[in-house]
Amino acid sequence: MAKKQFKKVLIANRGEIAVRITRACRELGIYSVAIFSEADRESLHVFLADEAYKVGPPPSKESYLNIDKILEIAKLTGADAIHPGYGFLSENTVFARACQKAGIVFIGPTPENIEAMGDKLSAKALMKEAKVPTVPGSDGAVESLDEARRIIREIGVPVIIKASAGGGGKGMRVVRQESELESAFRACQSEGLNYFADPTVYIERFITDPKHIEIQIFGDTHGNVCHLFERECSVQRRHQKLIEEAPSPSVPPEVRTKMGEAAVRAAKKINYVGAGTIEFIFDNSTKEFFFMEMNTRLQVEHPITEITTGIDLVKEQINVALGNPLTFRQEDLRQKGHAIEVRVCAEDPETYKPSPGLIRACRHPQGPFVRVDSYAYPGYEVPIYYDPMIAKVITWGETRADAIERMQRALTEFILSGIKSNIVLHRSILKHAKFQDGTYTTQFLEKNFEVIEPELFKEVEDHIFLIAAAITAFNDRKSKDVRQLNMISKWRLASRKLQLRT
Amino acid sequence: MYFEAELKGTKYKVDVIELRSQWKISIQKEGDEWQHFEISKTDYQHTESYFSFLFRGVSYMMDVVGKDTEYTVFTRNSFRTVKIFNDEMLLHESLKRGGGFGGDRELKAGMPGKVIEIFVKEGDVIKANKPLLIMEAMKMENEMRSTRDVKIKEICVKQGDSVEAGATLVKFEDP
């Protein structure tokens, strides 16, 4: 009997993830339909898909977030399913429901799943019911100093007091001993009132050495849920992940098992279907972990899980969307070796400012145990409208040290010119002692990593840059007015040479 | 051909001579001795999309982007912007800017983007390092600040404008 399969899948996304999904479709014999905004006509995902249709003007709101237009294209092309990728409409219940209504399969969780995890407070309450550890704290407003005192006696110090309406570092105080409580409490209340017109404060355990560690889970429509172990994503800047690795160098085996089990309980609590990620904040000093939030979609960093477990997560998403049971059982799953992913972005590595523009040369790393998920190519112009990430480089090694060395090697091979990229930044991070010993926390880039510019670029001597610039400048001017410039130059040269020699 | 160059704030004198089969390049870092390099043309070859540069046996794949007085050189995941002037240009620049290069009289857009907010108006006298306007590119907002004490001579854009890289945003004069 022929296996049930989608005939055609529309990919409601762009860039590298659209390319990634197209690859899975092609391997499964499914036709792929790309959509593109007016700024993306020359994007690689358009070239690689079987069909491609314009969805609207460059701004996301009018293109990749245009639900009506996307469904119209899906109907027009006869797509029987839509894969939303990550970002854009991937966690949008209106879109998931609109697909359902149109009789098109949404390759992702149910709208109810997305809703259950969409609201942080209700998600936290659900997780408590499922006995998933959450950050100990007041669970709401703390009215009085006495109440605050009672809470910190219960959960212990250090704690952080936060103004409910606060943000940007205002209205936040860390309390390391009970004697500091009163002044911190009053300060947060008054800052809340002064800056945000709201004196409400709450209290939480303060995590001294926080790490971002997340568990990949997978559920099907038959009630099975498995976890595919953890990924550590603590190298972040302003909550944007830069480097991820699996397994985490900080999680002991018994804690890994507990985290996996907690993540499965969390997913089962909401009858989760498809690929999802439970994010935990991990205290590296106590090895405790607490639920942060759940991402109800495929993650950017999914390749490191694929590489270490051997499971193709996108194909598995399609399998689950067809209504089939998971292709694996928990006891079949193993983490083999170590994988690292770096996100290559079109940005200045010193200032972190985006650097869109024309890619001139582009040569991706190759060789053993290197995977590159990229949509960059020579002559492609990175548009200003979307995320600056253009490529992900993933390496595997038997050990963590092997994977790091291999990543250094791969990044050395990566040639990219015309736009600035953060590849040098990645290479400096990989070399850093705190990355190497695995003790880095989410504060690593802000606190431990001072970008010393000469360090970042020291591999190449200044005169190499000068020689290349000078030869090009020479050729440019020569072609402009060969005779005149050479004449002037030779006279002046002669006199300068004379001066030099005397 | 004689050039003056600037790289990361350091000034250099550079001399380039092209012979039939080699480049002779002399570089003098401000305050240092001249260094002389002879580079065979087979060691500095243009391939389809980049240069292969064998410098004393060390292999660099390079690309040079730019024109006139500013070139960005890419190699080994690194890049640097080199400002480079020959005599005519030095003269021209000095007339235009009233001495030395680098004393900016205008704020230009470093990348294509959209003007989100403008904080100053024409005639304002602004201290160094004060925000002038916010540009948005690639979902990021970038605040652009004054590099010195200036008077705003002209604002060439308005809120909501989309601008190309290199477009003049604000013109300054001395306060």
Residue type at position A4: K
- Let me know: does A218 contact A309? Beta carbons within 8 Å: no
Contact between A469 and B71 using a beta-carbon 8 Å cutoff: yes
- Let me know: does A417 contact B50? Beta carbons within 8 Å: yes
A37: pLDDT confidence band, cut at 50, 70 and 90?
Answer: very high
B99: pLDDT confidence band, cut at 50, 70 and 90?
Answer: very low
A457: pLDDT confidence band, cut at 50, 70 and 90?
Answer: low
Q: pLDDT tens digits, residue range A41-78?
A: 999 999 999 999 999 999 999 999 999 999 999 999 99
Q: Using the predicted structure, report yes or no on whether residue B87 has a pLDDT greater than 80.
A: no
Nearest CA in chain A to B48: A361
From the list B77, B84, B137, the residue facing A384 with the nearest CB is B137
Interface test with B, best of A467, A476, A478, A496 (most B CBs within 10 A): A467
What is the C-alpha radius of gyration for chain B, rounded to an integer number of angstroms? Answer: 20
Contact between B12 and A420 using a beta-carbon 8 Å cutoff: no
Q: pLDDT tens digits, residue range A385-416?
A: 999 999 999 999 999 999 999 999 999 999 99
What is the C-alpha radius of gyration for chain A, rounded to an integer number of angstroms? Answer: 26
Tokens of B27: 């570089």
A164: pLDDT confidence band, cut at 50, 70 and 90?
Answer: confident
Mean pLDDT of A222-249: 95
Closest CA to B5 of B17, B16, B19, B21: B16
Cα(A447)–Cα(A442) distance, integer angstroms = 9
From the list B3, B80, B86, the residue facing A465 with the nearest CB is B80
Mean pLDDT of chain A: 91
Q: Using the predicted structure, report yes or no on whether residue B93 has a pLDDT greater than 70.
A: no
For the ranges A118-132, A416-430, B109-123, B137-151, the lowest mean pLDDT is seen at B137-151
Tell whether the torsion through CA atoms of A400, A405, A408 and A412 is positive or negative. negative
Q: Contacts of residue B27 in chain A, CB cutoff 8 Å? A: 463, 466-467, 470
Q: Using the predicted structure, report yes or no on whether residue B98 has a pLDDT greater than 60.
A: no
Provide the pLDDT for residue B109. 77
Contact between B112 and A488 using a beta-carbon 8 Å cutoff: no
Among residues of chain A, what percentage have pLDDT more than 90?
76
Provide the pLDDT for residue B146. 80
Bridge partners (DSSP) of residue B66 are B71
A501: pLDDT confidence band, cut at 50, 70 and 90?
Answer: low
Contact between B73 and A465 using a beta-carbon 8 Å cutoff: yes
- Phi and psi of A254, rounded to 5°? -70, -30
Provide the pLDDT for residue A198. 86
B97: pLDDT confidence band, cut at 50, 70 and 90?
Answer: very low
Surface of A (377-416) touching B: CB under 8 A: 378, 384-388, 411-412, 414-416
Identify which has the larger pLDDT, A69 or B78: A69
Q: pLDDT tens digits, residue range A84-130?
A: 999 999 999 999 999 999 999 999 999 999 999 988 778 889 999 99
Residue-by-residue DSSP string for A237-302:
ETTEEEEEEES-TT--HHHHHHHHHHHHHHHHHTT--EEEEEEEEEETTTTEEEEEEEE-S--TTH
Provide the pLDDT for residue B46. 87
From the list B27, B50, B113, the residue facing A384 with the nearest CB is B113
Mean pLDDT of A345-357: 89
Mean pLDDT of A350-378: 94
Cis status, amide bond into A247, omega within 30 of 0: yes
Task: Please give the DSSP secondary-structure letter assigned to residue A324.
Answer: P
Tokens of B148: 């010195």
Task: Please give the DSSP secondary-structure letter assigned to residue A14.
Answer: -
Cα(A224)–Cα(A218) distance, integer angstroms = 8
Provide the pLDDT for residue A496. 66
For the ranges A39-53, A99-113, A226-240, B132-146, the lowest mean pLDDT is seen at B132-146
Provide the pLDDT for residue A442. 95
Judged by a CB distance cut-off of 8 A, whether residue B92 touches chain A is no
Contact between A466 and B51 using a beta-carbon 8 Å cutoff: no
Q: pLDDT tens digits, residue range B44-63?
A: 998 877 899 999 888 999 99
A485: pLDDT confidence band, cut at 50, 70 and 90?
Answer: very low
List the Cα angle A301/A304/A310 in 5-degree steps: 130
Place of tokens 């595997």: A396
The listed range with the strongest mean pLDDT (A212-216, A482-486, B27-31) is: A212-216
**Predicted complex ipTM:** 0.71
Among residues of chain A, what percentage have pLDDT more than 70?
92
Q: Using the predicted structure, report yes or no on whether residue A6 has a pLDDT greater than 70.
A: yes
Provide the pLDDT for residue B96. 42
The listed range with the strongest mean pLDDT (A125-139, A198-212, A264-278) is: A264-278
Provide the pLDDT for residue A42. 95
Judged by a CB distance cut-off of 8 A, whether residue A40 touches chain B is no
A502: pLDDT confidence band, cut at 50, 70 and 90?
Answer: low
- Let me know: does A50 contact A338? Beta carbons within 8 Å: no
Catalytically annotated residues of A: 297
Task: Please give the DSSP secondary-structure letter assigned to residue A350.
Answer: T
B147: pLDDT confidence band, cut at 50, 70 and 90?
Answer: confident
Cα(A281)–Cα(A211) distance, integer angstroms = 6
- Let me know: does B2 contact B13? Beta carbons within 8 Å: yes
Q: Using the predicted structure, report yes or no on whether residue A7 has a pLDDT greater than 70.
A: yes
Closest CA to B64 of B76, B51, B77: B51
Place of tokens 């027009």: A76
